[in-house]
Chains A and B, each alone.
Chain A
Amino acid sequence: MKIETAQPKRSDEPIWWALFSAGGVCFAVVLPGAILALAILPALGLTTGDSLSYARMADMVYHSLWGLAGLAFVAAAICLPLFHAAHRIHHGLHDLQLGGGLASKLLCYGLAALTSATGVWLLVKAWVS
């Protein structure tokens, strides 16, 4: 056991922890709301016929909130929850003694970043076309 005299290097964990915390809030608040509004209520016939129509949705996604509503939704319903999940998997792998090092970090957060970027890219692509 070495004596701890040297100052340890600052961990970059606050970044991942912040994304994890924000993702946790989205998981708890935004996703249930989205599932309720986009899946359960329409399936139960509790919404009016055109509330999810293309024209209305496209207008909401691309024009409300100064045109940022779509981006906000992708961030809150896809990107942040992905980083939340990635953080859990990364630490879960450490608990199972299967990872927790740089490789699992790159894999977990890398996949979250890649999938997030895909979501944003699809949104922007549909927007400009």
Chain B
Amino acid sequence: MNKSISIARYHPEQDNQPRLQAYQVQSDHSTSVLDALLQVQQQDPSLGFRWSCRMAICGSCGVMVNGIPKLGCKTFLRDYPDELTVSALAHFAVEKDLIVDMQPFLQHLNAVKPYLINSEQSAEPHRQTPAQLAKYQQFANCINCGLCYSACPQFGLNPEFLGPAAITLAQRYNLDSRDQGKAARMPQLNGKNGVWSCTFVGFCSDVCPKKVDPAAAINQGKVASAGDFIISMFKS
């Protein structure tokens, strides 16, 4: 079946703003948006977009499909019988066509020290019970695709906001029984660009392709930050 798709093209040295260009692609029941982009690239090698795994694992193929953040490889043309417009992820600077600058996102992830912090130097494995694992496991499924940042109106208004994935990652390590780094991570969450920039819109959790539920993590983070606030009153 022939299907027409519109793609937002943008060449920073030539264009003032992205412009839509229509292409024809072959589509059947299993054609993903990423497959369609690969077909378009055969017709027009100047089209720029990112992808790698084709199986919703690498997190690099995020785009807006009809204005909603989606993974190109996990979104299918069959679900869009009418119009289909693909554009670059919202709230990020476009480098070319569908490629955005993910640097701010990576910096936010980095700011929360997203790794196990544990001063014990033991060669033994750190054992964990299933209950201890269950506390953070869902939050550990993030693939760093950035869709939640495109969905978040607060990140759109304030790019300094740590944002859903970074706060989820902080929560993921704070809840890990093997970790001792919570005190080092809390200052980032306690600041005005930490958990408190969130107004619980919840769209991040709707768009997350891995069902991580970042909105829940942020709200757990708010409770943790409020607790930290009370403790700090007694300390000073």
How many chain B residues touch A (CB < 8 A): the figure is 24
Verify if B128 is at the interface (C-beta below 8 Å from A).
no
- Residue of B103, B107, B192 near A11 (CB, 8 A) is B192
Verify if B199 is at the interface (C-beta below 8 Å from A).
yes
| Given A17-B226, A95-B199; 18 other pairs, CB 8 A cutoff | A1-B104, A3-B107, A7-B191, A8-B190, A8-B192, A8-B193, A8-B194, A10-B187, A10-B190, A10-B232, A11-B190, A11-B192, A13-B196, A14-B225, A17-B196, A17-B222, A95-B157, A97-B157
Q: A residues within 8 A CB of B108?
A: 4
A-side interface residues toward B, CB under 8 Å? 1, 3-4, 7-11, 13-15, 17-18, 91, 94-95, 97
B-side interface residues toward A, CB under 8 Å? 103-104, 107-108, 110-111, 153, 157, 159, 187-188, 190-194, 196, 199, 222, 225-226, 229-230, 232
Q: Contact between B191 and A1 (Cβ–Cβ < 8 Å)?
A: no
- Residue of B157, B187, B226 near A8 (CB, 8 A) is B187
Q: B residues within 8 A CB of A4?
A: 107-108, 110-111, 188
- Residue of B187, B192, B232 near A7 (CB, 8 A) is B187
Q: A residues within 8 A CB of B232?
A: 10
Q: Contact between A1 and B226 (Cβ–Cβ < 8 Å)?
A: no
Distance to closest chain B CB from A16 (angstroms)? 9
- Residue of A7, A11, A18, A95 near B196 (CB, 8 A) is A11
Instruction: Compute how far the CA of A50 lies from the CA of B188 in the bound complex, rounded to whole angstroms.
Output: 58
Instruction: Compute how far the CA of A94 lies from the CA of B222 in the bound complex, rounded to whole angstroms.
Output: 19
Task: For A13, give the chain B residue with the smallest CB separation.
Answer: B196
Distance to closest chain A CB from B5 (angstroms)? 32
Q: A residues within 8 A CB of B230?
A: 14
Task: For B225, give the chain A residue with the smallest CB separation.
Answer: A14
Q: A residues within 8 A CB of B111?
A: 4
Q: Contact between B199 and A9 (Cβ–Cβ < 8 Å)?
A: no
Instruction: Compute how far the CA of A3 lies from the CA of B188 in the bound complex, rounded to whole angstroms.
Output: 13
Q: A residues within 8 A CB of B191?
A: 7-11
Q: B residues within 8 A CB of A94?
A: 157
Instruction: Compute how far the CA of A94 lies from the CA of B161 in the bound complex, rounded to whole angstroms.
Output: 14
Task: For A100, give the chain B residue with the smallest CB separation.
Answer: B157
Instruction: Compute how far the CA of A89 lies from the CA of B136 in the bound complex, rounded to whole angstroms.
Output: 34
Task: For A10, give the chain B residue with the smallest CB separation.
Answer: B190
Instruction: Compute how far the CA of A50 lies from the CA of B193 in the bound complex, rounded to whole angstroms.
Output: 55
Instruction: Compute how far the CA of A91 lies from the CA of B157 in the bound complex, rounded to whole angstroms.
Output: 12
Instruction: Compute how far the CA of A8 lies from the CA of B229 in the bound complex, rounded to whole angstroms.
Output: 14
Instruction: Compute how far the CA of A17 lies from the CA of B107 in the bound complex, rounded to whole angstroms.
Output: 27
Q: Contact between A8 and B153 (Cβ–Cβ < 8 Å)?
A: no
Q: Contact between B157 and A14 (Cβ–Cβ < 8 Å)?
A: no
Task: For B104, give the chain A residue with the smallest CB separation.
Answer: A1
A-B contact pairs, 12 of them (CB 8 A): A1-B103, A7-B187, A8-B194, A10-B232, A11-B191, A11-B192, A13-B196, A14-B229, A15-B229, A91-B199, A94-B157, A95-B157
Task: For B162, give the chain A residue with the smallest CB separation.
Answer: A4
- Residue of A1, A10, A13 near B107 (CB, 8 A) is A1
Max chain B C-beta neighbours (<10 A), residue from A7, A10, A15? A10
Q: B residues within 8 A CB of A8?
A: 187-188, 190-194
Q: A residues within 8 A CB of B226?
A: 14, 17-18
- Assuming the contacts A14-B225, A14-B226, A14-B229, asked whether A9 and B192 have C-beta atoms less than 8 A apart, the reply is yes
